[in-house]
Amino acid sequence: MSRTRRPKTLAVFTEWTGARYGDHPALRAKGRPPVSYAELRDTVRAIARGLIGPGTGVRAGDRVAILSETRAEWTYAHFAVLAAGAVVVPVYPTAGDQELAWVLGDSGATVVICENAERAARVEGVRAKAPAVRHVLLMDELRALPGPAASTDELAARATAVADGDLSAIVYTSGTTGPPKGCRLTHGNLGAVLDANLDLIGGGPGDRTYLYLPLAHLLAQLIEFTTLLYGGELCYFGGRVEDVVSELAEVRPTHLPSVPRLFEKVHAVVRSLAESRDGGRERFEEAVRIGLLAARGRLPDALRASYEEADQQLYSLVRAAFGGRLRWALTGAAPIAPQTMDFLRACGIEVFEGYGMTESGGVISLNHPGAVRYGTVGRPVAGCEVRIADDGEVLARGPMVFPGYHGNEEATRETVDADGWLHTGDLGALDADGYLTITGRKKDLIITSAGKNLTPSLVETAVQQQSPLVAHVVMVGDRRPYPVALITLDPEEVAAWAAREGRDPGDGEALRAVVRAAVDAANAQVSRPARLRAFAVLDEDFTVAAGVLTPTLKVRRRAVAARYAAEIEALYAAGADTG
């Protein structure tokens, strides 16, 4: 993409978009009037001038942390910090006090912008461990910071002085082991990602992107950038994840980035409703089959009437649940069930799967209109080279790859080699047409006492795909004679199952039978050494608060093994095929 398609750096982003899109709507928050591109620019200017002014004294290169849920004020703060020539340090609102103290202290943040007084109090509580912090600011007060504001000319000079090689952000990865590592990302890194992806997503004035993902995550920030670059309207969720589906119908987005769980939930709810009726399962499966034929352009004339009937009774209702205008949906961060992809495609909703990591600027490969291969995470984006190492690890190289971890040269050397290849830690394969498939995490490999190498994600995903009741599956078996699993259930799905089957949701024996059937079906799909020989259904789901999930909802395997050590030992003590 030429530079005329985007600003020179993110520091002048809202100046660039304000000049191009003016009165077009840029931001929309629930219960508030839309904000135009001109208004966004003016607000960012006002906040940035206040940050630079002597009252707050943000200098070029200073670290400014943002602790907030996804909301319009996050975007104001984000672009204001960048315009001030400073470096954004996003902090997950779900982060515990230990992680909050680490991120603020390790980054050397001098200013922390907080969503509300409650979050500001949390920062004050760990301030002794973050000695560089000079100011803790509330988002709602950013337009009226104490002291005189810097002049417009001073702000313009600060913003235009920013270069490609300057840091734009330090984004802390929610590591599954050890404290989070700060990924240093430059304006040039993120510019390269935007150059590679804007045409693959597409859009323009009149389009709407619904955003509920945390803006502390790089993916959500990339969506923020791309939506505003093409003149679309960024619509924020109302603050409650429980309301996402109802809000989709209100917002009527054209673009929807999500994690697989949202799509899988919609699939599960529709399937449960269908199965609650006599012959419903068979009719549902036939409708999906017919819809897929139509999506592939292979619908025979003999099935045209059946397709139109299914469209009226199923497909159109599902499209309406997403607002009725959705033409681009993205899923990432975790594998999505193939059955869910088939269901949505049958209903006329294209979901594109992509792959990336913070260290790669957020994107390595992406399926997109015109180049889709289901079951893969797409081809490498323009400017990004991908190859598979001898041990199966995915390696990536290009201008979007980060320069290294903040204050951790050893980890940087382990991650980016002398030739510039980023070692992702993921295992994968490239097919003859260049499409990438991810098969698991290198560090998650299980080596049994018999010397068998097992990829846990293959088995875990297989179990999850067999039953909507299964929320999480964690395979255990390193240096053990065979693999076993810890399994948690989704309370909402259990309640729906109980209502559908006329059972007590606390009927542990019946629930275990459902899980057993899912495990047996999954075992039939994998190699003999990888088959689960025993499993335990835990009486609680995994949570971030318990320390077994990261803020991005990835499982912390070591934490799970430690928390449920007694259950694991009991499985092996009882022997195979029990639990």
Kindly report the CATH number assigned to the domain that includes residue 493.
3.30.300.30
Tell me what the pLDDT averaged over the chain comes to: 91
Mean pLDDT lowest among 105-109, 196-200, 211-215, 320-324: 196-200
- The reply to whether 229 and 322 lie within a common domain is no
| Token digits of residue 355 | 């792959």
pLDDT for 576: 60
What average pLDDT does range 391-398 have in this prediction? 95
What is the total count of domains within the chain? 3
Q: What pLDDT, in 10s, does the model give residues 437-488?
A: 998 888 888 888 877 778 888 888 889 888 888 999 999 988 888 999 999 9
* Residue 469 covered by a domain: yes
- The reply to whether 233 and 273 lie within a common domain is no
The answer to whether 449 and 481 have CB atoms below 8 angstroms apart is: yes
**Confidence class for position 309, pLDDT limits 50, 70, 90:** very high
- The reply to whether 264 and 388 lie within a common domain is yes
Q: What pLDDT, in 10s, does the model give residues 313-352?
A: 899 999 999 999 999 999 887 778 788 899 999 999 999 9
| Token digits of residue 519 | 């495990």
* Residue 215 covered by a domain: yes
Closest CA to 70 of 234, 229, 252, 236: 236
- The reply to whether 339 and 403 lie within a common domain is yes
pLDDT for 579: 40
* Residue 192 covered by a domain: no
At which of 407, 442, 477 does a domain end?
Answer: 442
pLDDT for 175: 59
CA distance 370 to 363: 18
* Residue 142 covered by a domain: yes
Residues 54/57/60/63 CA torsion (nearest 10 deg): -170
- The reply to whether 398 and 333 lie within a common domain is yes
Q: What pLDDT, in 10s, does the model give residues 45-58?
A: 999 999 999 999 99
What is the separation, in whole angstroms, between the first and last Cα of the chain? 56
**Confidence class for position 2, pLDDT limits 50, 70, 90:** very low
Q: What are phi and psi of 272, to 5 degrees?
A: -65, -40
Please report, for the domain that includes residue 355, its CATH number.
3.40.50.12780
The domain in which residue 501 lies consists of 445-574
**Confidence class for position 196, pLDDT limits 50, 70, 90:** very high
Model-level pTM? 0.86
pLDDT for 96: 84
Mean pLDDT lowest among 191-205, 377-391, 492-506: 492-506
Quote the crossing angle between the two packed helices 456-466 and 508-523, to the nearest 10°.
130
Mean pLDDT lowest among 76-90, 213-227, 262-276, 356-370: 262-276
What average pLDDT does range 166-174 have in this prediction? 93
pLDDT for 502: 85
- The reply to whether 252 and 333 lie within a common domain is no
CA distance 120 to 133: 12
At which of 442, 476, 505 does a domain end?
Answer: 442
CA distances from 288 to 280, 308, 327, 348 (A): 12, 13, 19, 11
- The reply to whether 283 and 232 lie within a common domain is no
Whether pLDDT at 3 is above 80? no
CA distance 91 to 105: 12
- The reply to whether 131 and 223 lie within a common domain is yes
| Token digits of residue 454 | 């097992």
pLDDT for 577: 62
- The reply to whether 129 and 276 lie within a common domain is no
At which of 416, 442, 468 does a domain end?
Answer: 442
- The reply to whether 70 and 52 lie within a common domain is yes
Pairing of β 453-454 and β 446-447: antiparallel
Closest CA to 180 of 554, 474, 542: 554
* Residue 172 covered by a domain: no
CA distance 292 to 539: 38
- The reply to whether 243 and 288 lie within a common domain is no
- The reply to whether 562 and 436 lie within a common domain is no
